[in-house]
Amino acid sequence: MEYGDMKICQKHKLEIIIVDLETRIAQEDRYLCVRCIIERMDKKRMSLIDETQDMIKEMKRNEQNQRIKDSKERFDGLNRIEELLRELKLNMDSIFNKIFNNIQLKLMQISKDISNIESQSITFNFQDDIERLSQYQENQINEQSINLIEDDHKFLEQIQKQLEAFINSEQYHKLMNNSNIIKKSQIEQDLINSQQEYEIIKAQDYKTPALKMICQEHTKEIIMFNLNADTNTNSQPRMACVKCIQYYPAQYTPLEDVMILWESYQKRNTINLTELYNKRNSI
């Protein structure tokens, strides 16, 4: 292979930047471009700068589209609830107007009866009054009063039926069966269930936390985590075994502390989500 040909990777058509001097490597596999290095490292989450920029652009477009979609769904959901509430209000106004009108008519009738009674002069008929007097002393109430009380009970029962008709109305059932309202109840229940499951798992499986991952360099179990966002991961790994810690003892956080921070983060998210839905419900 000519020196000029060695400058370009024959497989990826990219500039060769590294030569592998390992004796077991075939001659044609010694010259590596950036893409070759990535393939050799076998890291699925690594990519070239240009590819990463494209991935970031696609991520941002997807995030923007998702936010628009979510906002439209929220808008449509609340708009539908508003329509159902307006329909329900019209039905309520109709029912309550009828109830108020009937009550007003009843009040007017009672006021008229009171005026008539007050305007009547008391007359005496000894023969008739003796019979009524005996009934009055025995029952302390006359038949006319009983009829009026029964009439009032029937009137109140009529109002109760009108209110029940409102609860059984089509508009009310449409509102209560709306998917957004049902979804909110389901989410609240899911939050409760998730919290209960979390407590059960925590109680049943309390032990020294482990990621069940092995350090590729030292073949030891991962027990520490580097939470420093400014860390250069090329020179210092994020996850560390007992051997790694010897090189950077002050840079790592025990995995148990990481788990506590993670649990605290999950709890905050649960609380914030619950508060969010409570605020939406109060709008």
List, for residues 231-268, the tens digit of each pLDDT value. 555 566 667 776 676 666 555 566 666 667 777 777 77
Q: Is residue 149 pLDDT above 90, yes or no?
A: no
Residue 263 is assigned to a structural domain of this protein: yes
Tokens of 41: 């490292």
> Are the C-beta atoms of residues 251 and 226 closer than 8 Å to each other?
yes
Residue 252 is assigned to a structural domain of this protein: yes
Domain C-terminal end among 177, 208, 233: 177
Q: Is residue 64 pLDDT above 90, yes or no?
A: yes
In tens, the pLDDT along 11-63 reads 888 888 888 777 787 887 778 888 887 777 755 555 556 776 788 899 999 99
- How many CB atoms are located within 10 Å of the residue 36 CB? 19
In tens, the pLDDT along 183-241 reads 555 555 555 655 555 554 444 444 444 456 777 777 777 766 665 655 555 566 667 77
Residues 68 and 108 occupy one common structural domain: yes
If residue 151 lies in a helix (H) or strand (E), which one and from where to where? helix 143-167
pLDDT at residue 252, as a whole number: 57
Residues 62 and 36 occupy one common structural domain: no
CA gap 30, 49 in Å, rounded = 23
Determine if the pTM surpasses 0.85. no
Give me the percent of the chain exceeding a pLDDT of 90.
6
> Are the C-beta atoms of residues 69 and 150 closer than 8 Å to each other?
no
Confidence of residue 8 (pLDDT cuts 50, 70, 90): confident
- Give the torsion through C-alpha atoms of 128, 134, 139, 141, to 10 deg: 30
Residue 46 is assigned to a structural domain of this protein: no
Residues 20 and 103 occupy one common structural domain: no
Residues 186 and 248 occupy one common structural domain: yes
> Are the C-beta atoms of residues 172 and 200 closer than 8 Å to each other?
no
Segment 146-166 shows an average pLDDT of: 79
Residues 162 and 248 occupy one common structural domain: no
Residues 69 and 32 occupy one common structural domain: no
pLDDT at residue 62, as a whole number: 93
If residue 53 lies in a helix (H) or strand (E), which one and from where to where? helix 49-119
Residue 47 is assigned to a structural domain of this protein: no
Q: How many domains does the chain have?
A: 3
Q: Which residue is it, tokens 């009674």? A: 117
Residue 8 is assigned to a structural domain of this protein: yes
More confident site: 93 or 122: 93
Domain C-terminal end among 177, 212, 231: 177
pLDDT at residue 66, as a whole number: 92
Residues 145 and 202 occupy one common structural domain: no
Domain of residue 90: give its range: 54-177
Best CA proximity match to 88, nearest among 165, 12, 170? 170
pLDDT at residue 207, as a whole number: 44
List CB contacts of 255: < 8 A, sequence separation 6 or more: 209, 210, 211, 222, 223, 224, 225
Q: How far is CA 191 from CA 3, 183, 202, 246, in A?
A: 65, 12, 16, 42
Averaged pLDDT score across all residues of the chain: 72
54-58, 136-140, 174-178, 272-276, range with the lowest pLDDT: 136-140
Strands (E), the chain: 18-19, 31-32, 224-225, 239-240, 253-254
Residue 213 is assigned to a structural domain of this protein: yes
Residues 251 and 224 occupy one common structural domain: yes
85-99, 103-117, 128-142, 157-171, range with the lowest pLDDT: 128-142
Residues 58 and 171 occupy one common structural domain: yes
Residues 225 and 139 occupy one common structural domain: no
If residue 154 lies in a helix (H) or strand (E), which one and from where to where? helix 143-167
If residue 193 lies in a helix (H) or strand (E), which one and from where to where? helix 179-204
CA gap 134, 121 in Å, rounded = 22
Residue 37 is assigned to a structural domain of this protein: yes
pLDDT at residue 124, as a whole number: 73
Residues 247 and 145 occupy one common structural domain: no
- 3-class DSSP assignment, residue 127: helix
Tokens of 18: 């590294």
Domain C-terminal end among 156, 177, 198: 177
* DSSP assignment letter at 217: T
Residues 66 and 165 occupy one common structural domain: yes
Length of the chain: 283
Residue 13 is assigned to a structural domain of this protein: yes
